[in-house]
Amino acid sequence: MTTNHGLIMVFGAIMPAFVGLANWLIPMQVGAPDMALPRMNNLSFWILPFAFSMMISTLFMEGGGPNFGWTFYAPLSTTYAPDSVTYFIFAVHLMGASSIMGSINIIATILNMRAPGMTLMKMPMFVWTWLITAYLLIAVMPVLAGAVTMMLFDIHFNTSFFNAAGGGDPVMFQHIFWFFGHPEVYIMILPAFGIVSHIIPTFARKQLFGYTSMVYAVASIAFLSFIVWAHHMFTVGMPLAGQLFFMYSTMLIAVPTGVKVFNWIATMWRGSMTFETPMLFAIAFVVLFTIGGLSGIMLAITPADYQYHDTYFVVAHFHYVLVPGALFSIIAAVYFWIPKWTGKMYDESLGKLHFWLSFVGVNVTFFPQHFSGLAGMPRRIPDYALQFADFNMISSVGAFIFGFSQVFFLYVLIKTIRSGAPAKARSWEGAKGLEWTLPSPAPYHSFTYPPEVKSEEVHG
Amino acid sequence: MTVESKQQNDIRRTVKKLALIVVGMCFFVAALVPLYDLFCEVTGLNGKTGGPYVFDEAKTSPDTTRLVKVNFLTNTNEGMSWDFWPQKGAVRVHPGSANTVSFYVKNTTGRPMIAQAIPSLVPSSAAEFFHKTECFCFEQQLLQPGEELEMPMRFIVDRGLPKNVQSINLSYALFDVTERVGLPEDMQITDNQVSPVTGG
């Protein structure tokens, strides 16, 4: 179940949500009529239901579903895996193919279909972050496919890629997995950076502070993501030089990330701020993502990591960057652009209520996990010792609040679509960007004739 | 050429380039496996010791000024029920001299089995200075039910061993490779021939 939770959230929730946003927004934001390759897009989307039916079906199989964590370390996922692992492998292959096709489509659209005058350095931040994310996906998805293919061969064709008895090496699995895995976690956060870079300037009614440095920061984060993979495996017995290299390179990531956080704060500084729901989610993103980022720096310290490794501290860390990070940015994006999609405004007070429920729920769920982790509660184990019961009780209460508040979110969305007040073309007075020059709801083919790119509409 | 058809051409060219990257990354991941082995071999990381080594005793003299302690550890992989231990837990040797130690192994099960020992050496910086001229780990062992064996291992600690290394830990993990390798034809057993398990 933990394995399926991880994989569904990564490949079935966060990534498709971001790809969906990209498909909606990128053509409008660069002034194109539609995506470059609609047929490939269709294929990429319709693969997903098959991939996930295959993956979820493993839960009902004899021997149980995959039970080796979302990192599926060999030999847990090969020698000791339940038979359903083969379904899991093919599901991962399909998801990889879907992601690669989605990315090729996005890059082809951005590079070839921008309106005249929309130079690369005038592109909105969401487009920039997705361009870089798509390159990351194209680079690392084949690596994941290779890793699961080697697993498949080890299980069914008697090879020994990861089996020490046959001359292979289980640690090599971890190296290959994390060479994919670290860029993968940035794939899940870079588009979030883009979204927040649209929302904060809108509600602070100022231009985004340091646009150029934002672009370079995203590019350097993407580059660094390829050279830090082994910080997930400090305890495998690396030589000192390796540990130091991966420790320093990991800490280096804090620099471009810090640049972004300070730029968002500087954008808000002395702005005429209002606090509509998207802005609340965006500010919560900045604050809570920074908490997750700081615990990331704690984990990067090799000697300290020996203590934190595989505990709930790590669980708290990555849930802070993925839930109030990636997920909050997606929710913020939905509130921000829903007037453009549906032509209706959501109910502001219900939106605010949803925000506060989510904000409280997220913190009540994940903050105590820092403490249970530091006290030694191991991750990936469904049961726990008695002394952790209180912290887990708090987490459970928070998780219920958070879960129900997302059901409430669904209600808010349905209410908006059915009976929301009509939205203006420029739904937010401070909103900039080509998408706001279109009527709400946006027509199926947005810009049949390339629009004129005016200087006041750039840098969202 | 119209604007639209030029754009379509550009898109096609971009897609081709990106598809090339995807194919290139597939080759890259296939190359990662040999690269990984090469990297470990060159750097001696991973504690993997080398294959058979040719040692000419006439050419080197032992370094009698220092003694290095070599500890031997053995363990069997999960599901492997053989007895397996070193005859001596540790020996003190002069770098540059050839030494022989032996390991005891017994098939405690009721069926013929094939085993393979995999060495690992700590600290990994000493791996390239630890040579074996003869080792049971270079081959696989086929043992009949209840059969036991003394397995020799002849090694030389290189004179070039860094001065700060005073002890070396060599561990062997014994794996059951019967299914992988397959027993010789005449030893295949059918279900009704299985004899009761002896020992344990």
CATH of residue B107's domain is 2.60.370.10
Residue B187 counted as domain residue: no
Q: Given this model, what pLDDT does residue A354 score? A: 96
Task: Tell me the one-letter amino acid at A351.
Answer: G
Contact (CB<8Å) A108/B116: no
Q: Given this model, what pLDDT does residue B1 score? A: 57
The answer for A 227-286 residues in CB contact with B (under 8 A) is: 237-239, 242
- Residue pair A277/A355 in contact (Cβ under 8 Å)? The answer is yes
Q: Given this model, what pLDDT does residue B136 score? A: 86
Residues B15 and B92 in one domain: no
pLDDT (average), residues A143-170: 87
Whether the per-residue pLDDT at A84 is higher than 60: the answer is yes
- Residue pair A64/A131 in contact (Cβ under 8 Å)? The answer is no
Whether the per-residue pLDDT at A232 is higher than 60: the answer is yes
Whether the per-residue pLDDT at B199 is higher than 60: the answer is no
pLDDT (average), residues A390-408: 95
Q: Given this model, what pLDDT does residue B196 score? A: 45
Contact (CB<8Å) B11/A239: no
DSSP A210: T
Contact (CB<8Å) B22/A140: no
Residue B191 counted as domain residue: no
- Which phi and psi angles does A136 have, rounded to 5°? -60, -45
Buried b (16+ CB within 10 A) or exposed e, A224-237: bbeebbbbbbbeeb
Residue B94 counted as domain residue: yes
Residues B36 and B66 in one domain: no
- Which phi and psi angles does A128 have, rounded to 5°? -60, -50
Residues B16 and B74 in one domain: no
Most confident of A29-33, A220-224, B115-119: A220-224
Residues B56 and B82 in one domain: yes
Q: Given this model, what pLDDT does residue A312 score? A: 94
Residue B27 counted as domain residue: yes
Q: Given this model, what pLDDT does residue B46 score? A: 62
- Per-residue pLDDT of A5-27, as tens digits, reads 998 899 889 999 999 999 999 99
| Residues of chain A neighbouring B36 (CB-CB closer than 8 A) | 169, 172, 175
Overall domain count for chain B: 2
d(CA B135, CA B151): 8
Average pLDDT of chain A is 92
- Per-residue pLDDT of A238-294, as tens digits, reads 888 889 999 999 999 999 999 999 999 999 999 999 999 999 999 999 999 999 999
Find the DSSP H helices in A169-311.
170-187, 190-204, 211-224, 240-252, 254-268, 277-300, 302-308
- Residue pair A166/B180 in contact (Cβ under 8 Å)? The answer is yes
Best mutation site among A35, A109, A111, A156 for testing chain B: the one with the most B CBs within 10 Å? Answer: A111
- Determine what percent of chain A is predicted with pLDDT higher than 90: 73
Residue B146 counted as domain residue: yes
- Residue pair A183/A222 in contact (Cβ under 8 Å)? The answer is yes
pLDDT band at B38 (very low <50, low <70, confident <90, very high): confident
Contact (CB<8Å) A100/B22: yes
The verdict on A165 touching B (C-beta cutoff 8 Å) is yes
Q: Given this model, what pLDDT does residue B189 score? A: 56
pLDDT band at A130 (very low <50, low <70, confident <90, very high): very high
Whether the per-residue pLDDT at A101 is higher than 90: the answer is yes
A147 Cα to chain B: minimum distance (Å): 8
Residues B131 and B81 in one domain: yes
Beta pairing partners, B141: B115
Active site residues of A: 5, 34, 70, 98-99, 182, 184, 186, 197, 231-232, 257, 260, 379
Residues B18 and B71 in one domain: no
Whether the per-residue pLDDT at B200 is higher than 50: the answer is no
Contact (CB<8Å) A146/B30: yes
Residues B116 and B53 in one domain: yes
DSSP chain B: --HHHHHHHHHHHHHHHHHHHHHHHHHHHHHHHHHHHHHHHHH-GGG---SB----TTT----TT--EEEEEEEEE-TT---EEEESSSEEEE-TT-EEEEEEEEE--SSS-EEEEEEEEEESGGGGGGEEEEEEGGGS-EEE-TT-EEEEEEEEEE-TTS-TT--EEEEEEEEEE-HHHH---GGG---GGGPPPP---
| Residues of chain A neighbouring B30 (CB-CB closer than 8 A) | 146
Choose the closest CB to A166 out of B30, B45, B180. Answer: B180
- Per-residue pLDDT of A311-365, as tens digits, reads 999 999 999 999 999 999 999 999 999 999 999 999 999 999 999 999 999 999 9
Residue B193 counted as domain residue: no
Residues B29 and B116 in one domain: no
Residues B38 and B119 in one domain: no
Residues B13 and B93 in one domain: no
DSSP A311: B
The verdict on B57 touching A (C-beta cutoff 8 Å) is no
Whether the per-residue pLDDT at B2 is higher than 80: the answer is no
Choose the closest CB to B36 out of A139, A165, A172. Answer: A172
Whether the per-residue pLDDT at B43 is higher than 80: the answer is no
Better-predicted residue by pLDDT, A332 or B126: A332
Residue B200 counted as domain residue: no
- Residue pair A437/A449 in contact (Cβ under 8 Å)? The answer is no
| Residues of chain B neighbouring A112 (CB-CB closer than 8 A) | 7, 10-11, 14
- Residue pair A372/A312 in contact (Cβ under 8 Å)? The answer is yes
Task: Tell me the one-letter amino acid at B150.
Answer: E
d(CA B79, CA A79): 12
A165 Cα to chain B: minimum distance (Å): 6
ipTM of predicted assembly, 2 dp: 0.81
Residues B99 and B54 in one domain: yes
d(CA A367, CA A50): 36
pLDDT band at A459 (very low <50, low <70, confident <90, very high): low
Q: Which residue of A has its CA nearest to B32?
A: A176
Contact (CB<8Å) B36/A103: no
- Determine what percent of chain B is predicted with pLDDT higher than 90: 18
Whether the per-residue pLDDT at A118 is higher than 80: the answer is yes
Residue B190 counted as domain residue: no
Q: Given this model, what pLDDT does residue B198 score? A: 42
Residues B78 and B139 in one domain: yes
Contact (CB<8Å) A146/B29: yes
The verdict on A166 touching B (C-beta cutoff 8 Å) is yes
As given in the structure block, the two tokens for residue A189 are: 């956060």
Contact (CB<8Å) A112/B14: yes
The verdict on A164 touching B (C-beta cutoff 8 Å) is yes
Whether the per-residue pLDDT at B4 is higher than 90: the answer is no
The answer for B 168-197 residues in CB contact with A (under 8 A) is: 173, 175-177, 180
The verdict on A108 touching B (C-beta cutoff 8 Å) is yes
pTM of the predicted model as reported, rounded to 2 decimal places:
0.85
Q: Given this model, what pLDDT does residue B186 score? A: 67
**Could you list the residue range(s) of the whole structural domain that residue B158 is in?**
47-181
pLDDT band at B110 (very low <50, low <70, confident <90, very high): confident
Whether the per-residue pLDDT at B45 is higher than 70: the answer is no
